[in-house]
Structure 1
Amino acid sequence: MQEILQKAIQAVQESQIAYSKFITPNDTGATGGHQSGFHIAKNAWSLLFDEEGQKGSNKEKFVTINWQDNFETQSRFIYYGVGTRNEYRITRFQKGFPFLSEDNVGDLLILCKKANDYYEGFVLQTDDEMEEFFTAVNISANNTNQIIPSQFAETAENILLECFNRFIDNLKVDFPPTVQMALQARRCYNTANNLTAAGIRRNPDKQILEWVNAEFQLFRMVENSRYSHLIQTPFQDVEQLVKTANQILNRRKSRAGRSLEHHLDEIFRAFEVTYETQVITEGKKIPDFIFPGKEAYDNPKFDENKLIFLGAKTTCKDRWRQITSEADRIRTKHLFTLQQGVSKNQLREMTDQGVRLVVPKQNKFTFPEEFREQIFSLENFIGYVNQVQGK
């Protein structure tokens, strides 16, 4: 599968326009809709057509899509604008098309425009592939369902960018640790948006996504500051080029995993819940969050029903299994993720293994409808913690 991943990365880098999204139940027809086929966000209309669709009429276009550099489909781009509909889709795939089944929910679709009527399509199916793709094209899991930017687009508030630039100008180290990056991103964002603890408590689901985006913007700015002069200088040999590229990619990977924990930490502080991070449990396992903390967990007399576990993973399509062996005293393992959509079969397996997902409120619609009630939003989860802790 590494070969497909590398082809997908190269296709994005060489395409006119590229787009990515997590495959949802709505795409596969699992929600019971009349139309299956990949739904494309309205803000990405330029991927499909030269002009934006207009309400009151439909429009369509037929193209060739080369999938995984393995086979082609003659597919249809269509905009539905008649009646109450206002959406873009890709339809018409040959019989036996392998990427629109229930098991594909949660996979990452990548579509690249190579010419006016010729596209390349890829589907990545594991967390490792997805995260390596995000790292290579310089986006995060939260930047899917939109056009992949060819370069950093300065769209944030001027005050936010000025704050970021001041931070970079005053750095005394080559590259700050993840915790410092996350902290500075929040400080700049909160200052630019006059955000207080009360504002965080009003909408924690929105705020954690905003912080994740802000921190990723800051990371890219620091990266450009540190490496722009280096890549503009001719390399002595291929070995030096590869060494530099690996250094950049490895730093991106190491950053992504921990920043989510740092932002969750700040959310829980704003709500004044009792918890600890990185508590060592059986077998020297280290869960991300234990509520109320290590002392209670280590006390055999403490009521196990009042112990709460929360893991944090950017994507969870197969990595969710890693948390099932952590914190043996706690039967239900809560897992916060930015993943958009998981198949019914995987959700059933998670439930059987005692895993309950926690996702940003706006991401819940990407999961099969019959499972949404059992998925917590971040606000739901904090309410549950407060209830258990009697607050």
Structure 2
Amino acid sequence: MALADLTDWLDEFLKPGRIIFAKRLSGNDTLANGSHQAGPYIPKEFLFRVIPAINRTDILNPDAWFDLAIDSHPDFRKVRAIYYNNRFHGKPKGGRNEARLTNFGGAASPLLDPDSTGAVALFSFRRVEAGEQPGCHVWIARHATEEDLIEDRIGPVEPGRYVVWTADVVQPDLFRVPERPSCWLADDEIPEGWKTSFPPGTEIVRKAVELRPCDGLEPDARLLRRLACEYEIFQSVEHAIELPAILRGFESLDAFLKRAQTILQRRKARAGRSLELQTREILIEERLIEGTHFSHQPESDPGKRPDFLFPSQAAYQNPGFPDSRLRMLAVKTTCRDRWRQVLNEADRIRRKHLLTLQEGVSEGQFREMHESGVQLVVPSGIIRAYPDAVQPHLQTLESFIGDVRLL
């Protein structure tokens, strides 16, 4: 299919009357790590919203069959939505209380293909009432350009998080008020300056460090906890700034779209730098001195700027410093296609280290990375999302920091 097909699909299926569920497929969603799930995980609260017929406990395991078309590949199937509810039918303690989509056809389905791990998947459901037949159209991004087009429309889709989107102007899910999480700032907790000018990422990161000092935690756990906290802080500030304007309403559709686009672009900018800035804080906390033990956003070679160089930019640019004692660390939230971007970031360093939050890769993708000289660095908390054969070859952030201390 031509790239224009995605643009046409977005125009057709991101419009009023439809509800979008977007996520990055993890190794648990696909068959990459052998989890043998029946289909991608979608929270039951969302499935109840788009398939209300299964939201009942008066019968055991209610289900509904509906048409699901994967337009990106293409693939068409009759899919089953089922609510496993035996917790309400004789097993109050150990019973299930979850909903699933099944009948995708195993690895023959593009959604369960291990090579789809890390891809953005959009599920577009049409709004139905109880008793009406649901239906779903799916697009699985096939490369980074398609992911960029999708995120330009709905904002960033980060590993481990999902996005629910509606195009209705009156109350779009873009501005849906979440329940207050642990790092959510109340209005009187937000610095006054942040309310008039949205704070830069560095300030939000510092606030996350303040709220989550995580003393005694290993770097991997500390990083994941702070990333979650930072996201909540960002949301609370966004809510405080944007919700009053939303409630006041807009004079025109163009004014609404302009405001929405500003919000989406800000979200993308945060997602693009969050992991990088949090990693810098971790390095400093681990007593690595910036400028001596590592350089952040240095120029390695003319026109090339890796995220981090070790032990320093000066060492890298000193011809007498041994190549074997140089390291670089690229930071990318997802790596499915973007890992190739790091191959030319530091010419003197043969093995490129890449820190990612992507929840799994296929064995074939990992083999290609390894053969190209890329070493994946993955926080220990998400290593289990990778195939068993891949896990021994991953490096944790704590292990990587231990290695660079020796430089």
TM-score bin (small chain): 0.7 to 0.9
Distance 2:157 2:30 in 1: 24
Describe the superposition over 1:318-366 as per-residue Cα deviations: whole angstroms up to 9, x where unpaired.
1111111111111111111122222333222211211111122222222
**Preserved contact between residue 28 and residue 37 of structure 1 (Cα < 8 Å):** no
**In structure 2, how many angstroms separate the alpha carbons of the residues matched to 1:227 and 1:39?**
33
Question: Residue in 2 aligned with 1:124?
Answer: 141
- Residue deviations 1:198-251, cap 9 Å, x none? 33xx23222222222222222233333333343445545554444333333222
Aligned partner (choices 291, 304, 327) of residue 285 of structure 1: 304
Write the distance in 1 (CA, Å) between the matches of 2:241 and 2:281: 28
Alignment-mate amino acid for residue 202 of structure 2? V
State the one-letter code of the partner of 2:303: K
Question: Which residue in 2 is equivalent to 1:67?
Answer: 70
Q: Give the secondary structure class of the aligned counterpart of 2:381.
A: helix
* Aligned counterparts of 2:33 and 2:353: Cα–Cα separation in 1: 25
Match of 2:39 in 1: 38
> What TM-score comes out, normalization by structure 2 length?
0.76
Q: Please give the residue correspondences for 1:164-243 in structure 2 after superposition, counting only pairs within 5 Å.
A: 165-171=188-194, 173-187=196-210, 189-190=211-212, 195-196=213-214, 198-199=215-216, 202-233=217-248, 235-243=250-258
Residue in 1 that maps onto 2:51: none
CA contact (8 A) 1:44 1:147 kept: no
276-285 or 113-122: which moved more?
Answer: 113-122
Tell me the secondary structure at the aligned position of residue 357 of structure 1.
strand
Say if 2:34 is the partner of 1:47: no
- Residues 362 and 21 of structure 1, relative CA distance in 2, 3 Å threshold: farther
Deviation for aligned residue 1:289: 0.6
AA aligned opposite 1:353: S
> Equivalent residue of 1:120, what SS?
strand
The letter for the 2-side match of 1:65 is L
**Correspondence for 1:152 among 168, 173, 177:** 177
Is residue 314 from structure 1 mapped to residue 333 from structure 2 by the alignment?
A: yes
Q: 1:241 to 1:45 in 2, by over 3 A?
A: closer
Equivalent-residue separation in structure 1 for 2:123 and 2:376 (angstroms): 28
Contact 1:24-1:105 within 8 A present in 2 as well: yes
In angstroms, what is the RMSD of aligned CA positions?
3.7
Unaligned runs of 5+ in 2: 1-5, 49-53, 87-93, 166-171
Given that 1:60 and 1:78 are in contact with CA atoms closer than 8 Å, whether structure 2 keeps it comes out as yes
The corresponding residue for 2:388 is 369
Residue 311 of structure 1: how far off its partner (Å): 0.8
CA contact (8 A) 1:9 1:133 kept: no
Larger helix fraction of residues:
1
2:3 is matched with: none
Aligned mates of 1:371, 1:81 — CA distance in 2 = 35
- Map Cα deviations across residues 294-335 of structure 1 (whole Å, 9 max, x no partner): 121112222222211101112221111111111111111111
TM-score, L = length of structure 1:
0.79
Is 1:161 aligned to residue 185 of structure 2? yes
In structure 1, the residue matched to 2:263 is 248
- Change in Cα spacing, 1:46 to 1:175, as seen in structure 2 (3 Å) is closer
- Counterpart contact for 2:120–2:157, Cα < 8 Å: no
8 Å CA contact 2:30–2:40 kept in 1: the answer is no
Asked if the contact 1:142–1:213 (Cα under 8 Å) also holds between the matched residues in 2, the reply is no
Q: Indicate the residue corresponding to 2:168 in structure 1.
A: none
Aligned match of 2:315 in 287, 296, 299? 296
* Contact 2:141-2:147 at 8 Å conserved across structures: yes
User: Any stretches of 5+ residues in structure 1 without a counterpart?
Assistant: none
d(CA) in 1 for partners of 2:302 and 2:352?
17
In the TM superposition, what whole-angstrom CA distance separates every residue of 1:272-310 from its partner, at most 9, and x where no partner exists? 132110111112211111111112111222222221110
* Count of matched residue pairs: 371
Q: Secondary structure at the match of 2:390?
A: helix
Paired residues of 2:309 and 2:327 also in contact (CA < 8 A): yes
Are 2:400 and 1:381 equivalent residues in the alignment? yes
Tell me whether 1:261 sits opposite 2:273 in the alignment: no
Between the aligned partners of 1:161 and 1:285, the Cα distance in structure 2 is 38
Alignment-mate amino acid for residue 37 of structure 1: A
Deviation sequence 1:7-60 (CA, Å, 0-9, x none): 56548x843xx6444334554445456x4631426x546626425899xx9775
Residue of structure 2 in register with 1:90 after alignment: 101
- 2:38–2:102 contact (8 Å) kept in structure 1: yes
Q: Does the aligned pair in 1 maintain the 2:294–2:310 contact within 8 Å?
A: yes
CA–CA separation in structure 2 for the residues paired with 1:267 and 1:286: 20
| 8 Å CA contact retained: 1:111, 1:119 | no
Question: For residues 65 and 267 of structure 1, do their structure 2 counterparts lie closer, same or farther at Cα, with a shift above 3 Å needed?
Answer: same
Q: Is the 8 A contact 1:23 1:109 kept in 2?
A: yes
CA distance in 2, matches of 1:31, 1:220: 32
CA contact (8 A) 1:359 1:377 kept: yes
Query: Are the aligned partners of 1:62 and 1:77 in contact in 2 as well (CA < 8 Å)?
Result: yes
Q: Say if 2:343 and 2:352, in contact at 8 Å, map to a contact too.
A: yes
